[in-house]
Chains A and B, each alone.
Chain A
């Protein structure tokens, strides 16, 4: 009887899910989502309710008197009196260094506050200012935020910053406010986010010119703030708020040309799956709050540390992990991703592919290390095994599907899924080296993916279509796009000595052999797809028709139709080159990544890491080269598939058709897959840990 309210929440959640899977009407589906949403309210209420207590509204409170007596207040450690504060301030003033550090600390909230307030100003002035003015303003803000984030990487490299909003510092170990927990890893992600947003906004200056209204730029800025807030927040519920903000804006920016049916479908799949992911995260938060009474991640971790994991811990970890994996687009939660990235405008794709997907993994790593590593640490083989399987499947399915795409945008979407798989493998190793590798890999590769998407944008701008079969051989006059695409493709195969290579080396060194093989094959397949498309578009090599490839749904890239003269096109090309250079250059930042990883693992005390020269062994170079050669071979096969009469063709054909069909579905199917994935991950963890 005493669990009835929890059961009600579970019931509402499950029947809402059932309604969505069986729904035949869009409005019905949205209403079912609202039933699921009400389940989260009921759950929170049930968790926090205290028998016999009343709502916290103290109407009998005597006017002008303190609400609690003096002793109680001292025990609770109310805010220090003004004199104490003065003393503390004077003590601070003494050292210059402390002052500089305090100034740096004040930068933390600005990373979020500046883009938000400028976004509000842009909307207020939307009818009165020229779109290009809005665009330049937004780009300037993004660039400023990037610089601030880079400053924070260095500032936090010796000690992380806890920034307490409203000045509400914890009392007796209880966090009463919300903190941004800034460490080099989070600051690095924030800096990469800023860089990608700057590049995307510069690109849109010429790509969109005045064809978008200032609302678009305002949304891009709010998106930037949401992603940075998510990467820095040290509070579970606050992470959820920024997660929601990301989803709402991502959903809107995807649907930017909603009049086309495929766009509506893509935006819808995005909205529905990500909203369900958010509800799962809500349940995870409620479970942890019910157990620990805390929302601050480190406090949750401290409280959980002393107990063996039980059902609550396992289930809370499962739903939180699944929620973040949906955002990341890992298998089998990735279906929405290819539909959404295929229809979103290019500047938006740069942010989606370059950061948003990686943020899902970042969230997972953060929640695991801060909150769960203490209690699940004794069972890390179970967590490791389950996450490794998900990572490997994502890497293989993503790369395989990328190879089957004719549209460069969809291809890039699946390449993103494959790379998310590789990043997840790094995180799943649950070691400092794995995390450092995943970090370098996600940031470096994210920048390269951003550059690749911008190159695709140049092709769409100049040729009107991202489909390699339709613009066959017409890219001869586009050397910059060709070089970016080729170099980017080779890089994503993790060929030495670029950034992604270093990341993958760090990952594969502590991974089992079979996982390394998966990484090599996945990297090669994804790169091969891009190389094949480049060869068709820029060099006119290969067959003009290819039955192997998925034809994009009609209308998906039709309307970009017209060809536009690129001319000098500095703003179209420069951002891509800069992002690529940044991504490749990150090979030299591994020391920083190591330290970043150590910060994140603060509880686990791993052994010190060897330096870069020791990371790179003959074997790792060999894997990189092997991956590159394999990519070339596969690309050649992709160009001339019919010249090689492979014996397995008859068996492979239905398999490929099935894979293609599964990826072309309605929200109900994707939600069924989501349920399956969540159940499978949860059941596997439950069996392995129990």
Chain B
């Protein structure tokens, strides 16, 4: 295993922990986006460009977007009440 691989593994491990421990949803959505990018790097480093591309479009674009829309909805409801 190369040093690069070991480094990305460590980063993803920390990133995952940060996502789980971010209990405020809005902050979590942002941390999740960063975690998605870390995963993309990991997949590229591990020679899986197809998976990396999927993760890029789904994990760091589509999913956080929908998450933000959900949060916007929740905030809207709170303001109304």
Asked if chains A and B are in direct contact (CB within 8 A), the reply is yes
Complexed CA–CA distance, A28 and B67 (Å): 10
A49 to B46, CA, bound (A): 7
Q: In the bound complex, what is the Cα–Cα distance between A25 and B20 (angstroms)?
A: 12
Segment with Cβ contacts to B, from A31-39, A427-435, A439-447, A482-490:
A31-39
Question: Is B19's CB under 8 angstroms from A4's CB?
Answer: no
Question: Within the complex, which residue of A25, A35, A51, A55 is in contact with B16, where a contact is CB–CB below 8 Å?
Answer: A35
A196 CB to nearest B CB, Å: 34
The CB with the most chain A CB atoms within 10 A, among B12, B55, B71, B74, is that of B12
Look across to chain B and name the residue whose beta carbon is closest to the beta carbon of A50: B47
CB distance A55 to B49 under 8 Å? Answer: yes
- Whether B65 is near chain A, meaning CB under 8 Å from some CB there, is no
> Is A103 at the interface (CB under 8 A from chain B)?
no
A271 in contact (CB, < 8 A): no
Whether A38 lies near B39 (C-beta < 8 A) is yes
Known: A31-B19, A38-B59. A8 touches B12 (CB 8 A): yes
**In the bound complex, how far is the Cα of B29 from the Cα of A45, in angstroms?**
25
Complex interface: chain A residues within 8 A of B6 (CB): 1, 4
> In the complex, A407→B25 CA distance in Å?
37
CB-CB contacts below 8 Å: B35-56 with A: 35, 39, 42-43, 46-51, 55
Instruction: List A contacts of B29 (CB < 8 A).
Output: 27, 31
A39 (CB) vs chain B CBs: closest residue? B16
Q: Mark B63-75, 1 if CB is under 8 A from A, else 0.
A: 1000100110010
Confirm or deny: A611 has a beta carbon within 8 angstroms of a beta carbon on chain B.
no
Q: Identify which of A14-22, A222-230, A557-565 touches chain B.
A: A14-22
> Inside 8 A of A28's CB, which chain B residues have their CB?
22-23, 25, 28
Is A12 an interface residue when CB atoms closer than 8 A count as contact? yes
CA distance A24 to B21 in the complex (A): 12
| A661 at interface, CB cutoff 8 A | no
The smallest C-beta distance from A259 to any residue of chain B, in angstroms, reads: 14
Complex contact B12–A42 (CB within 8 A): yes
A55 and B71 CA atoms in complex are apart in Å by: 38
Complex CA distance for A221 and B41, rounded to whole angstroms = 40
Q: How far is the CA of A16 from the CA of B17 in the complex (A)?
A: 8
How many angstroms between the C-alpha atoms of A41 and B16 in the bound complex?
13
Chain B interface residue count, CB cutoff 8 Å, equals: 34
Which residue from chain A places its CB closest to the CB of B63 in the assembled complex? A34
Q: Is the CB of B70 within 8 A of A49?
A: no
Q: Are A55 and B13 in touch, CB under 8 angstroms?
A: no
Q: Is A11 an interface residue (CB 8 A)?
A: yes
Residues A50-77 near B (CB distance < 8 A): 51, 53-55, 57
* Distance from A14 Cβ to chain B, minimum over Cβ atoms (Å): 10
Q: How far is the CB of A41 from chain B (nearest CB, A)?
A: 6
Given A53-B47, A54-B47, A55-B48, A35-B20 contact (CB < 8 Å): yes
| Chain A residues within an 8 Å CB radius of B50 | 55
Asked if B13 and A11 make an inter-chain contact with CB atoms under 8 angstroms apart, the answer reads yes
Q: State the CA gap A57–B51 with chains docked (Å).
A: 13
From B1, B55, B67, A2 is in contact (CB under 8 Å) with B1
Are A1 and B1 interface neighbours, CB within 8 A? yes
Q: Which residues of chain B are near A19, meaning CB under 8 Å?
A: 19-21
Q: Contact check: which of B9, B21, B47 meets A8 at CB < 8 Å?
A: B9
Closest chain B residue to A57 by CB distance?
Answer: B49
Q: Are B17 and A15 in contact (CB under 8 A)?
A: yes
Pick the residue among B1, B47, B49 that contacts A4 (CB under 8 A): B1
CA distance A1 to B9 in the complex (A): 11
B28 and A12 within 8 A (CB) = no
Q: A8-B12, A16-B20, A53-B47 given as contacts; is B55 within 8 A of A41 (CB)?
A: yes
B25 touches A27 (CB 8 A): yes
Any B CB within 8 A of the CB of A5:
yes
Minimum CB–CB distance from A237 to chain B (whole Å) comes to 15
Whether B43 contacts A45 by the Cβ 8 Å rule is: yes
User: What chain A residues lie within 8 Å of B17 (beta carbons)?
Assistant: 15
Q: Tell me the bound Cα distance from A650 to B63 in angstroms.
A: 53
Q: Please determine whether A11 and B25 come into contact, CB atoms closer than 8 angstroms.
A: no
Q: Are A24 and B23 in contact (CB under 8 A)?
A: yes
CA A31 – CA B47 in complex, angstroms?
26
Contact in complex: B32, A25 (CB < 8 Å): no
Partner of A25, one of B1, B25, B55: B25
**Closest Cβ neighbor of A54 among chain B residues:** B47
Contact A12 B12, CB 8 Å, known A4-B6, A54-B47 = yes
Q: Kindly provide the distance from the CB of B39 to the nearest chain A CB, expressed in whole angstroms.
A: 6
Interchain nearest-CB distance for B51 vs A (Å): 6
Asked whether, in the complex, the Cβ of A11 is within 8 Å of the Cβ of B23, the reply is no
Given contacts A4-B1, A35-B19, contact A12 B13 (CB under 8 A): yes
**Contacting B20 at CB < 8 Å: which of A18, A24, A30, A42?**
A18
Q: How far is the CA of A16 from the CA of B21 in the complex (A)?
A: 10
Q: Is the CB of B23 within 8 A of A12?
A: no
Task: Report yes or no: A31 in contact with B28, Cβ–Cβ below 8 A.
Answer: yes
With both chains docked as a complex, state the minimum distance between the C-beta of B68 and any C-beta of chain A, in angstroms.
Answer: 10
Tell me the residues in window 1-34 of chain B with beta carbons closer than 8 Å to chain A beta carbons. 1, 5-6, 9, 12-13, 16-17, 19-23, 25, 28-29, 32
Known: A25-B25, A27-B28, A31-B67. A45 touches B51 (CB 8 A): yes
Q: Which B residues touch A55, using CB under 8 A?
A: 47-50
B25 → chain A closest CB, angstroms: 4
Q: Which residues of A contact B23 (CB under 8 A)?
A: 24-25, 28
Q: How far is the CB of B78 from chain A (nearest CB, A)?
A: 13
CB pairs A–B below 8 angstroms (26 shown)? A4-B1, A5-B1, A11-B13, A12-B12, A12-B13, A12-B16, A15-B16, A15-B17, A16-B16, A18-B20, A19-B20, A27-B71, A28-B28, A31-B19, A31-B29, A31-B67, A32-B19, A32-B20, A38-B55, A41-B39, A41-B43, A42-B42, A45-B42, A45-B48, A45-B51, A55-B47
Additional A-B contact list (7), CB under 8 Å, known A34-B59, A45-B42: A4-B1, A4-B9, A11-B16, A41-B39, A42-B39, A54-B47, A55-B50
Which residues of A does B touch, CB under 8 Å?
Answer: 1-2, 4-5, 8, 11-12, 15-16, 18-19, 24-25, 27-28, 30-32, 34-35, 38-39, 41-42, 45-46, 49, 51, 53-55, 57
User: Which positions in B face A, CB cutoff 8 Å?
Assistant: 1, 5-6, 9, 12-13, 16-17, 19-23, 25, 28-29, 32, 35, 39, 42-43, 46-51, 55, 59, 63, 67, 70-71, 74
